[in-house]
Amino acid sequence: MTGNIPFLVVGVVFFLGLYAVLFERNMIKMAIGITLVEASANLLLIVLGYRFDGSIPVFTLAGEVKQMVLPTPQALTLTAIVIGLATSALLLSLIMMLYRHYGTLDVREIRRLRG
């Protein structure tokens, strides 16, 4: 049972992030929500690769230990983190520029493109 708690956390964080993206009016809070969604995806990958009692997956430990955690999801997560950093930086820069142009952070007022 306790092994499933991380998955529960993934779900909770995912839906919290989604809630922020869906219902927050402030763009910075939406950006935070997107970061939360990213964090939940990364956490999911890490949790999937975890093996109980596993040791670190290092080449030189081969044969020494019985079980290692899976290295692939960790590599995947690192890549996803890098991508997440790029998107967050760009998103925040866009919000800065939007604030300069529109003078507001309220997403409901930034709607010149519609219809």
Partner 1 sequence: MWSKVYTGFGFWDVYTWIIFFALAAGLVLWLRSMGRSDYKKGTEQDEIFYGSNEVPEDGEDIQVPASSAYWGFVEALQPYYEKLLQIHTGIANDYVGYLVVTTGILAVLVLI
Partner 2 sequence: MKPLSVVVRTICDIFMWFMAVYGAYIIIHGHITPGGGFQGGAVVATLIAFMLVSHGGEKMVSFVRTGMYSAAETTGLLLFICAGFFGIATTFFYNFLAKQGGLFGSTVPLGANSGVLNSSGTIALMNMGVGLEVIGGLSLIIYFMFRGIRLHVETGSEETGHDR
Partner 3 sequence: MNWQIHLPALVLAIPLLGAFAAPLAGLGGKHIRNAWFIFISVVTTVLTMLLWQKVAAGGPAVYVLGGQAWNLTLPSGLTWPIRIVLEVDAFGAFMAVVGGIVALAGAFFSLRFMEKFSGLDKFVSLYFLLVTGMLGMELTGDLFNFFVFLEIASVASFGLVAFWRDRPEAVEASFKYMVISTVAAMMVLIAIGFLYGRYNAVNMAAVGQMLHMGYAEKIALVFLVIALAMKCGTVPMHMWTPDAYTEAPAGVTCLLVGVSQAALYGLFRVCFSLYGASLDSVVVPWTIIVMGVLSMFIGVSMAVIQKEIKRLMAYHSVSQIGYILLGLGVGLLALRDPQAMADYGFTAMKGGIYHIINYTVYKGLLFLTAGALYYAAGSRNLNELGGLARVMPQTTFMFVIAAAAIAGLPPFNGFVSKLLIYESTFAVYPILAVMALVTSVLTLASFVKVFQTAFLGPAKAKFAHVTEAPGSMILGMSILTVVIIGLTLFPTWALSHLVEPAAKALVDQAGYIAAVMGGGL
* Token pair recorded at residue 112: 């010149």
Residues within the interface to partner 1 (CB under 8 A): 18, 21-25, 27, 30, 107-108, 110-115
Toward partner 2, which CB reaches closer, 28 or 56?
A: 56
Distances (CA, A) of 63 to 28, 58, 70: 49, 11, 15
Interface characters, 47-76, with partner 3 (x: CB under 8 A):
-x---------------------x-xx--x
For residue 41, what are its two tokens?
């995806």
Closer residue to partner 2 in complex, CB, 52/59? 59
CA atoms within 13 A on the CB side of 91: 15
Q: Does 59 bind partner 2 (CB under 8 A)?
A: yes
What is the three-class DSSP state of 106? strand
Listed ranges 3-11, 13-21, 28-36, 90-98: which one lies at the site for partner 2 (CB under 8 A): 90-98
Q: Report the first-to-last Cα separation within the chain, whole angstroms.
A: 50
Given candidates 55, 72, 82, 102, which one binds partner 2 under the rule CB under 8 A? 82
